[in-house]
Amino acid sequence: MNDAMNAAMNASPDTLVHSAFYRYAAVPDPAAMADALRQLGVRLGAPQAFGGSVIVAAEGINAVVAGTRAAVEAYEAALSKDAAFAPLHGLVFKRSACHTLPFGRYKVAHKAELVAIDLPEVADVIDEHDDSHVAPADWDALIARPDVVLLDNRNHFEFRLGRFRGAVDPAVDHFRDFAAHVLAHADTWRAAGQTVAMYCTGGIRCDRTAPWMRSLGLEVRQLQGGILGYLADRAERAERADPTASTGKADQHAWIGECYVFDRRIALDATLAETGRKPAQVYDPSRPDEAWRLARAERLDGQMPT
């Protein structure tokens, strides 16, 4: 996190902060953990001063929360220290500043899996820190290589709003359709000796699919921390190099456009600042799978879509 962003978020306990995190780890009793998380959120002021969307499964947690700095810090501290959340200790929290509370509710759901995708069972376990992960500082050099195919592991509307230069759009309307695109191209990538470099918003979609893609004989690399981690890293390094300079401009790195986020902020620019996008500017109503997203976003008045 760059110094300017850090100072802005620490200016007051009432400053609004967004925190995104996930972990693949064995959770012995996900229902009990979900209950504990609900109670924790209520103690911290949910839904008036604290909100978010949390998914708990036997395989771990996937969450985005937001509220006052004091509430978010207390929430993160509980997940990092309390015995009830022992499988989650050591979580990495990705923070960004907010002008308004991004969520209209605080929802904790107990589900069968953290991200919905129908993949066959594979021997490889999901490892958020294996050597397929590429640090943000090394990402630009990797995706500039001629033997690399750069794959966007998100939905089409997300790609349309922003992407890395040279990325391939699988043109999927739902994450569960991503596997079909990989299967349709895997033979070509293998035959050409290409490395598949992929990215998503925060990293969880890539962590979920990478072991399966390796089981197909593909050489896979993924962006550590996703787009949000990359933009935060670039802004921090630019801040260290020249604290007086404007940071995060698209021509300073490989990112083009805005990053879609699943909350009221809609989209963030390359400095992780809200862009003021509205749902009608993101979804194409002529596409059925985007028309219902637009209708839901307007109906829920910016609550967290799933």
Residues catalogued as catalytic: 200
Q: How many CB atoms lie within 10 A of CB 171?
A: 12
Q: Are the C-beta atoms of 134 and 221 separated by less than 8 Å?
A: yes
Separation between Cα atoms, residue 77 and residue 193, nearest integer Å? 45
* DSSP calls for 129-173: TSTTEE-HHHHHHHHTSTTEEEEE-S-HHHHHHEEETT-B----S
